[in-house]
Structure 1
Amino acid sequence: MRSTGRLFATFAVASLVPVVALGAVVLQDYSRDAAEQGRAQGLSQAEVIAQMVVAPALNSGESSVTGGDDLSRRGLSAEQHDRMREATRLAVYNGSVQHLRLRGFSGRVIFSDDGSSSSGVPVSDPDFQAAANGERRARVITGRTQTIRVMQPMIAGATGQSVGVVEVYLPYQKIADRLQQQIETTWWRIGGGLALLYVVLATLAWLTTRSLRRYAADQRYNALHDALTGLPNRTAFRVWGQERLDQAVRDGGYGAMVLVDLNRFKEVNDTLGHHAGDELLREVSARFRAALGPDDILARLGGDEFALLMPGRDRAEAVALLEQARDRLTEEMVLDGVPLSIEASFGIALYPEHGHQLEELKQRADVAMYQGKRGTMDIVVYSGEQAAQPHQWLVVQAELRHALERDELILHYQPKVGVHDGTVRALEALVRWQHPQRGLVPPGDFLPAAEHSGLIVPLTEWVLRRALADQLGWTASGQPWAVSVNVSARNLEVAGFADLVAALLAEHGTAPDRLMLEVTETALAGDAETLVKSISELTALGVGISVDDFGAGYTSLAHLRGFPAAEIKIDRAFVKDVTHDPQSRAIVRSVIALAHGLGSRVTAEGVETAEVYRWLIDAGCDEAQGYLIGRPVPWPQVSPDFLVPVIDLAPVIDSEEVAR
């Protein structure tokens, strides 16, 4: 505001100077023209006097002056002198002439209206010399009164030759007054016009400055706010948020940094269209704002991601406020006639407990938020033991890229057997990392880092290629085992994944029904449309799909309806307790019944005791997998001898138990 005022003042002063200068130049030019006009009028009047007064007197009588005579030599006759006096007296009396002299070329005064013989203008004067040479000159002489002095060559006779110089002094005051009046009139007109021009320019400048001020304000606002929701954007949040954090450091303050991500927002865009998604974001923003306090900063970072900075709120206050915001957020809304209830995941980092730099707090809030997405809690406070995880992931991702290039990854296989006969049905490929310094690295130490980057795509391709190659080896040795490979939701979301699988099957000459792709239950809660499309393409090839870790996630039964699952694997958390926990037994029996009702076979994971194995036979489970049957080892170590303990369990179970 102040800068634009200075800009306008600068423009006003800068524009005033040329306007005034223009007025001065115009006035000066007009004054010069007026003076020139006065001199021209004096010359004309002197010409008339010379022709009408002096010339007739010189040309009268017998001694008339002829061209070429120099009045300095011959002078005037008495008659000519009298006629000159008479004519001059009349001119002086009428006020048209103040003073008149007739002079010869030598400067001699031949006639003077007052009878004086003073020489007047010196002969050396440029005006006299010019008149002696036939050129007229006029000059304004200032004094008590203004006078025009005209030096006029005196032409006598018909020859047109000069015989002397007429020195005439004409009254100029009336002319000057009239010119002054004209100048003043012109000045007022020019001044008024220039003043009006200045007012117009100043008005335009003011309007332009105000428009620029508004434009600058709009640009500044747009640069710092999200166009869709009107909330501060990522840039504004970074600047304003860090200012609040710096102030908290100075004042010993505290607060909470929160990242918010809407769940299944993409489904709204894909199902109802982007206009509905935009309307949803506006409604979510309004509900968030209504739930927050005046000191809280809410920003949209992009897409369906929001950020909150809540100064002066401790852990309990932050969680309580977010619970209120969540309840308000989940209230049903209607978009395009469709009732919706939106949910969100909240990650909280506290300051100064978890840091005092904005990016540091955002990173830790992001870790907490994704921990919530992977679990069952939608509001998660960052826990200190995860502090090194984001940094460690960056290191792991960098090293894993080199591991793929150097072929440091290996596959171990764990068998799945039919519970009734103990025969091996398939081997599950489990990736391991033979690190040159740390030795054999388990998948839990590097797969999460791969899943949070694009590395999971080439990693899965490597596992598929190696597993199919190993399968050729055990097939050649007479073992017709299928192979199971784990894939993530990211793999299924990549365009052309089914084509990649088809190409690898063709490359190794493997029948599609000898490959099983295992998808975790939590992956099914992602982008349903994309997953269904990808899985439909895979099943069309003949590849089997397995739902892994069933019961550990939060998939609703609606996800299984119409899902072409060839296998459902019960999570080990339920299997290990079936011999002593009634609830686990009820859950496992229900899953078995559900899977069979859907036309899927059931595999129990984490089978580690003979008692659990016997119970699974009694419950009607189809297959089993676990340490009782075999630990993950390279495939050449998987042999019938390795499975003897499981086969030996068969005689313990009578035929009636098996029937049940």
Structure 2
Amino acid sequence: MTRNLRFRSIESRIVTLFLVLVVALQLIGLLVIQRGIDNNARLAIGAELNNGTKVFHRLLEQNAQSLRFGARLLARDTAFVAAIGNNDEGDRATIESALENSGRRIQASLSMLISDQRKITATTNRAQSAALEKMALSMLDAAEATDGAIGIAIVEHRPFQIVAMPVKAPITIGWIVMTFPIDRQLASDMREISALHTTVLTRDQQGRWLQAGSTFAAPSAQELLEELQALGPTASALPFDVTVESDQYSARLMPIGVDDGQTASVLLARSIDEATAEYRRLERWLVGLALAGIAISVLVIVFTAKRIAQPIGELVTTAKRLEGGDYNTPIDSTREDEIGQLANAFDAMREGISKREQEIRRLAYWDTLTNLPNRAQFVLLLNDALLEARRRGEALFVLIMDLDRFKHVNDVMGHSFGDALLRQVAGRLQLLLANRRQSSAQVARLGGDEFAVLLPAASTAAALAMAAEILQALETPLSLEEQTVDLGAGLGIAGYPDHAEVGETLLSMAEVAMYAAKQRNDGAVIYDAAMDKSSAQSLSLLTELRNAVERNELRLHVQPKISLATGMVVGMESLVRWMHPERGNVFPDEFIPFAEQTGFIRVLTRWVMEKSAELCGELAAQGHHLKVSVNLSTRDLMDQDLPVMFADLLARHKLTPGSFCLEITESAIMDDPVRAQHTLERLSAMGLDLSIDDFGTGYSSLAYLKRLPVNELKIDKSFVLNMEKDEGDTKIVRSTIDLGHNMGLRVVAEGIESEAVWRLLAELGCDQGQGYFMSRPIPGDQMIAWLEKWQAPANLVAAAAGNEVAIDS
């Protein structure tokens, strides 16, 4: 019987395999036939387009013959020839009338007479005659030699057939020229004859396609032009595909004439859907037959599958129980075939999943180190306790504590010692709750060295008492591995309903109170809304700062940099100002440090860079080539994409790298010297000048600074402001100038507020300076006006020149 069951199982697989093969053969045959249908349809469309070109040429030839016939009749009309010979005003009217009547009969758009002096003497359309004059004159010799000449002319991007016929009496006394428009009428005639969409096109000397008439509707014709423009040189006399309003067409481009660099062409298009309609009906029949064959195959498959469906259905029901979390019901199976083996495998899987889910649940909601509830489990317990407190109208408190000096213990004694210490703290807290017989109280480890206690049905006094006991328990020294450790903790308290009604919010408020307790070193602290004020202000400031960039509230100010020797303006430093719609002018000291803390300083730096580049370009256009200095923060130096951003900025504004000088503080460099040096080297390699800002106030090593690719040192204004009165400051400035020059650097002093300081700095050899004596920071859009007014004090420039002469001698 076992062999019989196995045979039937294998037999069902064989039957299914053959059915799959049948279906595959049906689909492959269908695909081959479909491919053949498409190929045949394409060949038929190609033949139609080929015949269409012949038909269109025939239409053009018929029109040409009509023009020649009309022109010949008129040229041989005795009265018309006599009127040309008389050449008086009365005969001119006769000539023009004859031209108009003859042109109307053959539907010519223009009829004109050219005299034997090759001048236009009569015309039915003067504007068109003037445009066609050059083309017409070029045809006269050929017309006289062959009794008429035909050509293609393009006037205002519209093609015309043009015929020239000599008027002889018996010698040539003039020429009749007639034109026939190649426009939508001719395209419509072609459409009626051949069922092909026809579009008359011209292409100007710049390669742009223009439409002169089409059987497509206006939007479709415009879309066709765009498609043709996109194809470019690939659009040729060979068939190609175009899409017009989601319909696919096979098209062929047929040149019909060239005039003064312009090309006239006709585009013939055949709808692929229309051409393949009959084929598609045949294809649907084939699909129907294939589906019928597949349906019969499916019936056989269903019949075969029923023999094994029932036991598999039982296993599906078992799988749904497992999906619902029922891992306790065992799976019984007495079968010994493949289905029986599958049932046994399901039962083994059920037992394995049950064990793993228990372990995952323990890891998800319990702290593996202390075996206490973790933060996720504590939040669940807190939410349940809040529901119960609301129902009973009771208060509830959360206590959160953070151990003091635990990080120091971890660093000194190692993580294994720290873990053992946390287990002891957890044990003390559990013991404390057990001794107080707080059956409903819960202790949890939130993470790191943070623990929490949940006190349901408690008062503020009870919460404070519990906090005092916890702090006392933690202050008792802990003995571990022959080491005695003093810890202590900061503890925060928040309660329902006084502070919050949501679990996460209550937990957050208790954490705020805990941080306040650690700052004050005050043991336990109950939450107060004032504690959150600074956080809310910081969040509000960040939001407003983001909006300031989007709403264009920031303003670029610049402070000129002056050569102390010549008094010439050589550069400017870019500064940012914030014009708040409510607070008014917000000074940089109020938002720049915050922007650096939050990382928003990168956005501000990019804004300043962009505006500085725009201003630098405007100044250069006015003949003021100034080097603009921009400050970089620590976060900017850590950004490895900064050189790429600068390269893009310079390219967009068409500026040279020498237009910028990037100022970096010493402290910014020393935060991560290796990474900072890498960024600075990349910027320097691009050709950007680099400057050490506020030199002398940082903590950098001179040996390290020697390796930096800098071009400039800026002396901090704290040494410059009082140097005329403080000899110590003067010595520091002199030493800094000498140091900078010895390192081959340019030295700039900031904070120049008097003539005496300018003079003293010039005597010490300082290269450049900036300060209120020259100019306060001014709006960037006022810089050009300031430059036109600036004039350095003559006595200072003369004194500086004298110092240079003295130094040279």
With the shorter chain as reference, the TM-score category is 0.3 to 0.5
Greater RCO structure (CA 8 Å; 6+ sep): 1
Q: Specify the structure having the higher radius of gyration (Cα).
A: 1
TM-score, normalisation: structure 1: 0.46
TM-score, normalisation: structure 2: 0.38
